[in-house]
Amino acid sequence: MPQATPIPSDVVARIARVEERGVNATLAFEADTVLQQARALAERPETTALDGLALGIKDNICTLEYPTTCASRMLEGYRSPYEATAVSRLKAAGGIIACKTNLDEFAMGSSTEHSAFGRVEHPLVPDRVPGGSSGGSAALVAAGAVEAALGSDTGGSVRQPAAFCGVVGFKPSYGRVSRHGLVAFGSSLDQIGVFASSVTRAASIVGVISGRDPSDATCRDLDPVQPALERRDLRGLVVGFPEEYFPADLDPAIRAACDKTIRALRDAGAAVKAVSLPHAALAVPCYYVIAPAEASANLARYDGVRYGNRVPSHELFALYRETRGRGFGDEVRRRIIVGTYVLSSGYYDAYYGRAQIARGKIVGDFAAVFDDGVDVLFTPTTPTLAFKAGECVEDPIAMCRTDVFVCSANLAGIPAVSLPIGRSEGLPIGGQFMGAALADELLLDVAHVVEGLIDGAEEAR
């Protein structure tokens, strides 16, 4: 696949320009580190798949070039002794690790306002949020500072910011990309995903990072995701649109952009039909029990002894209390408290146990439509456009609602992609396609055709 070779000094200038504007999308970025990698690449005799492509890496993915902080005081300055499998594969394929990108602390949030190192501005409209939790990655790709970026998607954190910023965001099926070196949040939900300005570019990155990895027991013994991207139309394809994802209070511009997309799908030969995912309303409450439960267990290691910046004390319990009390921000503390509560004896059955039952029903809904001949599902990615900074940050319930269309794919482990499908008053609108588990190739093939049918920059009306 041909790739544009960026001039590394230009990459440095592009990232610097975005950061001079105060977007705050990077947490680590050094010109020398970028240029050194570029020089080493230039000396490699063989040509490489990614050929000097500049990449942003979300700062909850371990790198050797830069610290890995998860945008938390707890890990400020932390340098991982190893790098993520996805990162070493990108480097081996000729990618340049240009910078680490800002995120909601430990990837918990939907606006990148929960970073301990300051919020990320929307790249087009500074008083709006870029979405989250991978807001820095989305903003940098949208601003044209890097060619592609990695994010993590536990409950929508690649697709929702991709929609808000107007870029492509792909979350692979659970198990298609190694999680080795991704700092764990919700281990049954977490996947590394990709941001790029086109499906072709996103697919080329996924092709590099995916595939079996003995270092991650949850990574499937499968070949890398390699879509052909040769399909020219959608003839023979059945696209379902789940009624539950088009509620009465959906933003009218988003509805208009979705209607236009559905017309384009039909014109390209797809059979488009209404379907039902009857347990869709359980997704957000189910996610906000399971994700915090898993997070509370995963974040127990940050105690100032095993991991995390220690607040010294003469007494062990005080050391734990001070380290965790000062190291974690409000949102992370809230999740740990909720997660500990739903797992505690006496409440386990009422919350965690019931959430697992709900998860089973959500998985069953998706399996039923895909077994019934539907190839892919189409939905809006978000119920609203990028909201104003400060609008949801004091209201955790309002923040959760922004995940209403995206977190079900994580609960079901299925692949999903958000594409730009229009704009409203300059703000991007995302459309989401979801596929059956492990049907990542088909999903990307379809997304590639759809991208050619729709002008993502056109005003929706």
Q: Nearest distance from residue 24's CB to ligand GLN, in Å? A: 19
Told to judge if 388 belongs to the known catalytic residues of this protein, a careful annotator would answer no
Q: What is the DSSP letter of 351?
A: I
Nearer to ligand GLN, 109 or 422 (CB): 109
Examine residue 200 and tell whether it contacts ligand GLN (CB under 6 A).
Answer: no
Are the C-beta atoms of 55 and 97 separated by less than 8 Å? yes
Q: Nearest distance from residue 322's CB to ligand GLN, in Å? A: 26
User: What is the Cα–Cα distance from 32 to 40, expressed in whole angstroms?
Assistant: 12
Nearer to ligand GLN, 107 or 434 (CB): 107
Bridge partners, residue 220, by sequence = none
Examine residue 94 and tell whether it contacts ligand GLN (CB under 6 A).
Answer: no
Which of the stretches 80-88, 146-154, 236-244, 250-258 binds ligand GLN when contact is defined by CB under 6 A? 146-154
User: What is the Cα–Cα distance from 452 to 419, expressed in whole angstroms?
Assistant: 11
Positive/negative CA dihedral, 369, 374, 380, 381: positive
Binding residues among 372-431 for ligand GLN as defined by CB under 6 A = 403
Nearer to ligand GLN, 6 or 156 (CB): 156
Examine residue 110 and tell whether it contacts ligand GLN (CB under 6 A).
Answer: yes
Among 153, 213, 244, 441, binds ligand GLN (CB under 6 A): 153
- Classify residue 357 by burial, with Cβ atoms within 10 Å: 0-12, 13-18, 19+: exposed
Examine residue 291 and tell whether it contacts ligand GLN (CB under 6 A).
Answer: yes
Q: Nearest distance from residue 236's CB to ligand GLN, in Å? A: 33
Among 112, 115, 133, 173, binds ligand GLN (CB under 6 A): 133
Nearer to ligand GLN, 109 or 304 (CB): 109
Are the C-beta atoms of 354 and 100 separated by less than 8 Å? no
- Which residue spans within 110-176 are E strands per DSSP? 148-153, 168-171
Told to judge if 133 belongs to the known catalytic residues of this protein, a careful annotator would answer yes
Sheet strand arrangement including 191-196: 26-28, 96-101, 54-58, 148-153, 191-196, 168-171, 416-424, 427-435, 376-380, 238-242, 271-275
User: What is the Cα–Cα distance from 155 to 161, expressed in whole angstroms?
Assistant: 12
Examine residue 242 and tell whether it contacts ligand GLN (CB under 6 A).
Answer: no
The contact set with ligand GLN (CB under 6 A) reads 107-110, 133, 152-157, 185, 291, 403
Residues with a catalytic annotation lie at 58, 133, 157
